[in-house]
Amino acid sequence: MTRATIQEWTDTQVVLSSHKQRAVKYQVYRDSDKHFLEMRDANDEPIHTLELPEGMKLDKTSYEVLLRYVLLDVVAA
């Protein structure tokens, strides 16, 4: 199986701590039998690609909540 887009690139503002925001864009795709959420910053630089657990099907709002937690973890590292 080849790569298939589940959700096209979506621009969003992620609220971090202390009301700070970060402009990011993300897409969700399937590659073979695995699902991924890929994040990039406003300059189209990669931030992180997260492999979603098997069977995890979310809606757009849930992806954005997941983005916030991943970004908080990446910023803290």
Predicted local confidence at residue 9, as pLDDT? 94
Residue 57 predicted with pLDDT over 60: yes
pLDDT digits (tens, 9 = 90+) for 25-51: 999 898 988 889 899 988 999 988 988
**pLDDT confidence bin for 20, thresholds 50/70/90:** confident
What mean pLDDT, rounded, does the chain reach? 81
Predicted structure pTM score:
0.76
Residue 65 predicted with pLDDT over 90: no
- The residues with which 39 forms a beta bridge, in sequence order, are 26, 48
Task: Number of helices (H) and strands (E) in the chain: give both, helices first.
Answer: 1, 4
